[in-house]
Amino acid sequence: MVWDAVECRSLFTPGLLGEPANRNSKVSNVNGQHKLSVVIDGSSNLPKGKRAHFYGVDNMDDGSPKTDADWRELLSSEEYRVLREQGTEAAFSGKYWDEKRPGIYRCRGCGSPLFTASAKYDSGTGWPSFYETVDNDVVKTETDKSLFMARSEVHCSRCSGHLGHLFPDGPQPTGLRYCVNSCSLKLDQTEASRDSLSRDEPNSSSGEVSDG
Catalytic residue annotation: 179
Cα 158 from Cα 150, distance rounded (Å):
24
Strands 104-107 and 3-11: unpaired
E strand map for the chain: 3-11, 22-30, 33-41, 51-54, 104-107, 113-116, 120-121, 129-130, 139-144, 151-156, 162-167, 177-180, 185-188
DSSP letter assigned to residue 137 = T
Handedness of CA 64, 68, 74, 76 (dihedral sign): positive
Handedness of CA 115, 189, 182, 170 (dihedral sign): negative
- What is the distance, to the nearest Å, from the Cα of residue 76 to the centroid of all Cα atoms in its chain? 20
